[in-house]
Structure 1
């Protein structure tokens, strides 16, 4: 058991939230925009949401969007200084919030210092082996050589993880991040592209840091977590013994919003049962995948949904389902945003956090997931058992050693009465605190998810 399995993650894309210029001129003095997280109330907002982990997308020196790294050891001048990042992490820790950074280790930008050395010295550069280069070729910049790049994007130069010197350098980068900033783990960008040998090496580094941190913080809080970005496929390829602690669950993401739009809860029920059920073919039972409704790479959920009235029910389903739920800044009060090429609408600048009825519901759902009253460990640690499913309803149970929670989703426009074997007479609604009697059927209001903590 570690802090991550019980976490509620709050994701921020700092270059967007702080209103940083899209292009980094490479010469301007650092501007401490990152401190908006402290000064503009964002950390207090996370506390109010009952979030326990801040995930920061790229914060280190880059050319544009953060994933074209120039320097792994300097905070992007558009965001501030290394001291500013330390202040943010310390402020989070003072409020009991862990911090994950975005580890972009599959590729770098053309402005990365080692690649610039190759541009200048070609085969003579001691860093030529850090990249996959064909010195007999050429590229769109006329460099006199070609190189592998991420998904054909020439600005993103693929790193060669067959090179042990490169890997040792990146391991030292991670150690520096943990030592200098006190971070608690990493999101591994495009982990599905990373060499599995390199991924195993990162696991060794993380375990080394975990051992060192546990001496100071204890085994639960000392965990240095690795969360891999994956899309689809068998997540066990990147997660498990010697690899990532968790991966990002795009399969469930698709089922969550698509089931609502199609009024077909069978779709998400299939994904949940396939991933977390008790049948021999269920793939990830006992794992804690990172679950989400939107992030910095997809449309805002309030835009993705055909009927925004379903947002409360959908967030209830997110927090009731197996996994570690993640919130994307601004979506907790329902902002919209379409994903379009070259458009940064899904990564907007926001002056300060806001709150409304949706925000308050999400805070209550996050509290319900926290082990111990008024929450339940079953939502963090429990297994998954489907009890009933129809086109607009889904009922399932989450059971741990000590507690049992029944999650009932009504995605329809009308109240419904559900009949299922609750295996107890009464329960407590973890969101409202009200008693619930299972006798004669359970009525669920329209566009609502109920979390019922069963009596023993």
Structure 2
């Protein structure tokens, strides 16, 4: 039986942007903003999201990834009790909670780094960080140098080979499990983390909570190094993310099909059986509606997101067609303040919101979209059909990125006399092992084979 995270549809919240919190944490007092986030919960349930990835949450200095205190919710958002109530309310609606785990580095205001600034060579925390060298310096003029994440010196790289550091971070994770009842962690910069550290974390979290989920942010490399039975359960599928928008912009379904064939084909896919985390946008990349040359392709993009192998994720507001592009190093346009009531009342793309709600139902009703093997059925530069197959059931998707309707003859990969159009509920005959379908520009047809209940 599949685990909750393998069946999940995620909703990704970047809370500092979502609530319009100050960009820099200079306040002494706590500002309670979780009531705004709680207002989103019924909407998430309505569109079929069953899990939230929220973060960063730790008390930090600016964007959230420069941690000051791992045991405190950022005071710009609220306090620990606020987050505890948020998790309880989400759980009551059947929504799991996964938080950001920023364990590769800390901010300069973290207690261990401040102790080194104060006590220099006499600090017991000199071994907590990589590259501490009292013969060097940085532009901060501390009188010593250190290794920083991508030379961003506000982010000081932790030494995850040090036993005391590992023990400290594992105690932090236990605290978040026991105090807040979180269901998983998204590991920031997982491609920078020590593998032994992640393996030990995998073992430890399983002892605390059997179905605890670990997902890593990995941009490049062989995802199987991280997503396996020893390290993490899943990683971000940036390879598919790139294909989903550029394959539509370039009218090149070969790009998407090649990626999926390489990753998940039933005969030789290198990540076959793994459940990678799929997305079309997030807090680090331009909004999908801003990236598409033809915005009407948004419907086929989301169809592929939900029906290709993977765990789909919606970035907050993108179900309403919110746009935003990175401006040089400035990520703020991708992380706007949004109030759910205003989004619902002033929805500029209600058809998209309803379509994503439909895809949530489709995913929930068809186990084949979780565990079914992938098979390519038809491919041209502008048309693409595939199936997810489980025993005698299948979901067939036929997508069209052309500017004109496409007439497609699609093979049916399991024995059937008819298939059911999921969008219309109409039955379509199977003739000589194929179905004939007309797919509108930028749209996708979805057919159900063998699951009469889901097709109703």
TM-score by structure 1 length? 0.94
Deviations 1:220-264 (A, max 9, x none): xxx100000000221011110210100000000011101000001
Matches within 5 A, 1:396-407: 396-401=386-391, 403-407=393-397
Structure 2: runs of 5 or more not aligned: 452-456
Is 1:55 paired with 2:50? no
- Equivalent residue in structure 2 for 1:97, among 81, 95, 101: 95
Aligned to 2:237: 249
1-side partners of 2:104 and 2:392: how far apart?
42
Aligned to 2:162: 163
Structure 1: runs of 5 or more not aligned: 212-222
Aligned to 1:218: none
2-side partners of 1:350 and 1:251: how far apart?
29
- Aligned with 1:420: secondary structure? strand
Aligned to 2:383: 393
2-side partners of 1:432 and 1:74: how far apart?
50
- Equivalent residue in structure 2 for 1:320, among 277, 291, 307: 307
Q: Is the 8 A contact 1:425 1:455 kept in 2?
A: no
Q: Which moves more between the two structures, 263-272 or 413-422?
A: 413-422
User: Cα distance, 1:313 vs. partner?
Assistant: 1.1
1-side partners of 2:429 and 2:239: how far apart?
35
Deviations 1:108-154 (A, max 9, x none): 10011111111111121121111011122111111111000000100
- Equivalent residue in structure 2 for 1:329, among 316, 320, 329: 316
Q: Which moves more between the two structures, 333-342 or 285-294?
A: 333-342
TM-score by structure 2 length? 0.94
Aligned to 2:108: 110
Aligned to 1:232: 220
- Aligned with 1:134: secondary structure? coil
Is 1:268 paired with 2:256? yes
1-side partners of 2:429 and 2:173: how far apart?
52
1-side partners of 2:153 and 2:290: how far apart?
31
Aligned to 1:433: 425
Kindly tell me the number of residue pairs found equivalent between the two proteins: 437
Q: Is the 8 A contact 2:244 2:256 kept in 1?
A: yes
- Aligned with 2:209: secondary structure? helix
Deviations 1:278-310 (A, max 9, x none): 233x21001110000000000000001111011
2-side partners of 1:366 and 1:145: how far apart?
53
1-side partners of 2:318 and 2:98: how far apart?
20
- Equivalent residue in structure 2 for 1:364, among 349, 358, 363: 358
RMSD, aligned CA? 1.3
